[in-house]
Amino acid sequence: MNTNTVKRHCVAALRWLAVVALAAVCSAAAAQSYPVKPIRFILQHAPGGFGDITARLVAQKMSASMGQQVIIDNRPSSGAIVAANMVAKAEPDGYTLLLTGSGTAASASLFKALPYDVLKDFEQVSTMGFAELVLVTAPDSRFGSVADVLAFARQNPGKLNIGSNNIGSTQNLAAELFKSMAGINAQVVPFKGSSGLIAAVRGNEIQVAFEFLAPVIQLIKGNTLKALAVGASQRFAGLPGTPTVAESGIPGYHASSWNGVSVPARTPRPIIDRLYKEFAAAVNAPDVKQKLQEMGIDAKAYTPAETRKLMISDIAKWKAVIERAKIPRQ
């Protein structure tokens, strides 16, 4: 290689390093001034649900702390595909956020094809809340514990009915996971909504059901429903006397619905770090934690790395449950 060739390579390398350095400087500068305009937070749910309520409480706090409005944009659709696809194709500049979570993880196995890759097309920012699941029965039920439920199911194969919401919902997958991990022959009965499910439990049409705490916590406290166990790995602070499924006879059982925040892939790391800092501060605000706990939601802000790890774990877990239950892909 002659001297001129070496010089050309050196010049090219220096130019490349200059471009990289300039990009890093610009990225850091952008993050330092971020945000300079309102942030759009796209939700895959209609107003009023668990994710919507959590997002609005957190967005209100962040709007005040960041000096720019965090605007909620509801884009409900089957499998949350519309909202996720909008964010996947958005500019990776920190001004378009996606409400993500366990539903996003399950959708990877519930659909034959998605217009995006859950792991490759998004960066995880943080979790916000974990909606606790609870196994309930009628107040006059023969069941006083998970052990009673399991004993009945084993003595009467095929006779136990476990209610849930729609096929593929978190409640439905939690019921299928319960059935699988317990090794019992039981029927999982899906309902179109919480009202029908709760009425069926209270009327003894089904023996037990998995439901989010939010629509049933006051019924439990008023002795209109009986809580047998919660699905999380730890007891819920709002119902300290109710054990977990794991400590009640199915070791390792864990099922809850969580929501969090994603941004498009290639969003600069300083902006992701800033967003995590803001989300963590909002989620951990005492008034936010209190309001969410009253609705059966445990407020927690996982780091970006922890949130990605959770997403990967949930994709694998729900894939196995969906395949075992033979739930057809849409």
Domain stops at, among 213, 248, 283: 248
| Structural domain contains residue 12 | no
CATH number at residue 118: 3.40.190.150
Give the model's pLDDT for residue 132: 87
Count of CA atoms in the C-beta half-sphere (13 A) of 70: 26
Same domain, residue pair 75 and 104: yes
Question: Which contacts qualify for 166-169: CB closer than 8 Å, 24 or more apart?
Answer: 166/190, 166/191, 166/192, 167/327, 168/106, 168/110, 168/322, 168/327
Same domain, residue pair 236 and 166: yes
How far is 130 from 57, CA to CA, in rounded Å? 14
The first and second tokens of residue 89, run together, are: 């194709």
Residue 11: count other Cβ atoms within 10 Å of its Cβ: 10
| Structural domain contains residue 178 | yes
Domain stops at, among 231, 248, 265: 248
Residue 148: count other Cβ atoms within 10 Å of its Cβ: 17
Nearest alpha-carbon partner for 76 in 113, 105, 106, 45: 45
Domain count, the chain: 2
Give the model's pLDDT for residue 24: 47
CATH number at residue 195: 3.40.190.10
Same domain, residue pair 120 and 136: no
Same domain, residue pair 183 and 235: yes
Domain stops at, among 221, 248, 275: 248
Same domain, residue pair 150 and 213: yes
12 three-state secondary structure:
helix
Contact 168, 107 (CB under 8 A): no
- Domain span at 183: 132-248
The rounded average pLDDT for each run of 10 residues, N- to C-terminus, in the chain (330 residues) is 57 52 50 92 85 93 96 82 93 97 90 92 96 94 97 97 90 94 95 89 95 90 96 91 96 93 98 98 96 89 97 94 87
